[in-house]
Amino acid sequence: MKSQEITTIFVNPVPRISAQGRHKQVYTVQAKTGEFVPTTGMNKNKEFGVPSEYSFRLNLTTNKLITGLDRMIENPFKDSKPEDIIETYGLSQDWLKHLESIVKQSQIKLQTKYEIMDNVGYNFYTDEVTGTMFSSNWKQSLNKERNFLETFKIVLYDSPNRFTDETPRGRIAIQLIKMHHKIAKVKNEVNASVHDWYISEENEAQMEKQKRRDIIEDAIGKWYTMKTNSTPYNIYMLGTLLTNHDGTPIVKGKLRDSTVKENISDYLHEQSTYQLENIEKFSKLYDMMTSKENRERVKIMYLVGQAINTDVITVRDGFYIWHSKISQPNMYKHTTYDALVSNLQREYNIFNSKDKEVTNWYKDLYEELSTKNVWLE
């Protein structure tokens, strides 16, 4: 028989919101912009340290365990000498009569292969059960010793659970995992109403880990470029637009340049479930600030953010209220953040600083913020 490649799988918890409220880290907040933002949270099914236990399920129709070990596979022992198999796997002589038949077969049960590999008795991994409450002789069966697979269990914790087929127990555990209805075969087949877990191969887990690392390193590279080459004002502007998971800006008010940089660095390196969310926000803003088409919009977003911070504009009942424009219906109340920014951006594009007489909403907001001690350029 050829040497076996080692299979490693991970059983991961399905992200969900628990009906019992164990998802306490997941909640919805209203950001300064007025937008309701759901936090990513821990996505926990249970509190940490509380395990879930699984056994092979029983098919009540056949009164057999659902193990998948009855699947027929290509016989790796075909045409081998029974004595050689006994010596290789350290089997007892009780196997001899069975092996004389096995080596002639093109296919055998997966159960038989594992029994030989694991040096256990013939039919040790049987899917037959000693009896259930639905059996006619279930009372008598209570006094019988239950077989190996009836008592076999795995324990899963609310984190990636690693299994390998290097050992007999590992092989049977992987078989249980693949057959259990609560465990999805792959991540993209997860149905949160059915599955509590999903399987990922080792290389898949490594790929996801590497993808996460690449995203983080790309953002750190962008940040290094920005803090090296950008002006303190642009860095401050970025800091005021970056928000924590609860919608609060990470930079507010007058701060030293070094403090602003430190806040942004801490934001990107935050070791929590929010790190990728933080990095996504940073990368989006960085790309806008370095894009010729979008850099003007970032300037307007900064003004709106500072207007909200200084109560020039407030968010009330989902509307953006510019208090000083109460007599101007088209600018006093805005339905969305994007609508307000877009209106001001249009005003910015037609603004002419030399034309003192023409009304311009961008100019008005800029001048109003200048009285609030906001950093403007």
For residue 284, tell me if it sits in a domain. Answer: no
What residue type is 184 in one-letter code?
A
Q: Give residue 69's domain range.
A: 8-204
Quick one: pLDDT at residue 209?
75
What per-residue confidence (pLDDT) applies to 210? 81
- Asked if 64 and 161 sit in the same domain, the reply is yes
CA distance linking residue 298 with residue 348, whole number of Å: 12
pLDDT at 27: 40
Query: Are 199 and 295 found together in one domain?
Result: no
Q: What pLDDT, on the 0 to 100 scale, is given for residue 147?
A: 92
Last residue of a domain, one of 159, 188, 204: 204
- Chunk the chain into consecutive blocks of 10 residues (it has 377) and report each block's average pLDDT, rounded to whole numbers: 72 72 43 44 53 94 94 94 96 96 96 97 94 50 76 93 94 96 91 92 68 90 94 96 92 94 95 88 94 92 94 91 91 90 91 72 93 91
Q: Examine the domain organization and report whether 189 and 305 are in the same domain.
A: no
Q: What per-residue confidence (pLDDT) applies to 36?
A: 41
217 occurs within a structural domain: no
At 168 the pLDDT is: 96
Q: Report pTM.
A: 0.51
pLDDT at residue number 68: 95
146 and 49 in a common domain: yes
What is the number of domains present in the chain?
2
In this prediction, residue 285 carries a pLDDT of 95
Among candidates 256, 310, 308, 249, which has minimal Cα distance to 282? 249
Q: Is 257 a member of any domain?
A: no
SS3 string of the chain? Answer: CCCCCCCEEEEEECCCCCCCCCCCCCCEEECCCCCEEECCCCCCCCCCCCCEEEECCEECCCCEECCCCCCEEECCCCCCCHHHHHHHHCCCHHHHHHHHHHCCCCEEEHHHHHHHHCCCCCCCCCCECCCCCCCCCHHHHCCCCCCHHHHCEEEECCCCEEEECCCHHHHHHHHHHHHCCCEECCHHHCCCCCCCEEEEEHHHHHHHHHHHHHHHHHHHHHHHHHHHHCCHHHHHHHHHHCECCCCCECCCCCCCHHHHHHHHHHHHCCCCCCHHHHHHHHHHHHHHHCCCCCHHHHHHHHHHHHHHHCCCEEEECCEEEEHHHCCCHHHHEECCHHHHHHHHHHHHHHCCCCCCCCCCHHHHHHHHHHCCCCCCC
